[in-house]
Homo-oligomer: A and B are copies of this chain.
Amino acid sequence: MKPTDIKNLLEAVEKGELSATDALGRLKSLPFEDLGFAHVDHHRHLRCGFAEVIFCPGKTAQQICEIFERLLVSGTNVLATRAEPGVYKAILARFPRAQYNETARTITLVQEDPAKLIGQVVIVSAGTSDLPVAEEASETAQIMGSKVQTIYDVGVAGLHRLLGHSEQIQQANAVVVVAGMEGALPSVVGGLVAVPVIAVPTSIGYGASFGGVAPLLTMLNSCASGVTVVNIDNGFAGGYTAALINRLAVEGGPAK
């Protein structure tokens, strides 16, 4: 249920096509659907600006398909993350328009064609091995309506590679920086820009990376201001927050 649906509902009441009681009932019943194993939150688009996203691990292919369908029916774009190829196969069989990004492990189905993607989100990765996470961020930001540019494999051990792209980075409304190993890249990028940097640690590295704890701590302790951090390997959160900020920068927010 998108804001425009709510508006239509209220106008129908205004025009006398719908009683206040019926409208209330519909609003009350709409927020979520109880599928037994899941409560699909149709209210989220209204509250938070984007529909519920399906996090696949721990759900059966059948459960994912059912939630996917409920979201489709509500009219929004659909995004499923951490989807194994087998899950995509099951989704594809029922929803032939669904797309799969193998590297990012995302399934997407675009229903509302964004006339044009807006603003600019830049996604930077420290190494080639960080691509799955960076691509998840990219897919997420795009389905939320952001233009995205990617700059990959520009880790701090060869600074000139990063500095060669600094102009490009400085044109973004928000920058997502994805890095494993020592995770120093967001601090350096944070020192180059005047917009928020969302740092995404990855689990790539030798033993004492501890599955991404090392870059996570690095990023939390960044000496550069304006750097905030999301969970290890959580490209989705990076792309989502960058898209929120990008939208605010282009369209403005509630407070002006």
Contacts and interface: CB of A to CB of B under 8 A. Distances in A.
A55 B129 contact: yes
22 contacts: A31-B161, A32-B161, A37-B128, A41-B161, A48-B193, A48-B194, A58-B129, A120-B254, A159-B188, A181-B222, A182-B219, A182-B223, A184-B184, A184-B188, A198-B228, A201-B207, A207-B216, A207-B234, A208-B216, A208-B221, A226-B244, A249-B249
A76 interface: no
Contacts of A31: 158, 160-161, 164
A229 interface: yes
A37 B152 contact: yes
Interface stretch (A93-101, A107-115, A167-175): A167-175
Contacts of A52: 158
A240 interface: yes
B190 A254 contact: no
Contacts of A158: 31-32, 39, 41, 43-44, 52, 191
A208 B212 contact: yes
Contacts of A155: 223
A237 interface: yes
B171 A254 contact: yes
Interface in A124-182: 126-132, 147, 152-161, 164, 170-174, 181-182
Given A159-B188, A221-B231, A249-B252, 20 more contacts: A31-B160, A47-B194, A57-B204, A58-B132, A59-B128, A156-B191, A156-B224, A158-B191, A182-B217, A184-B187, A195-B248, A196-B241, A209-B217, A214-B221, A215-B218, A225-B237, A225-B241, A227-B237, A246-B255, A250-B255
A230 interface: yes
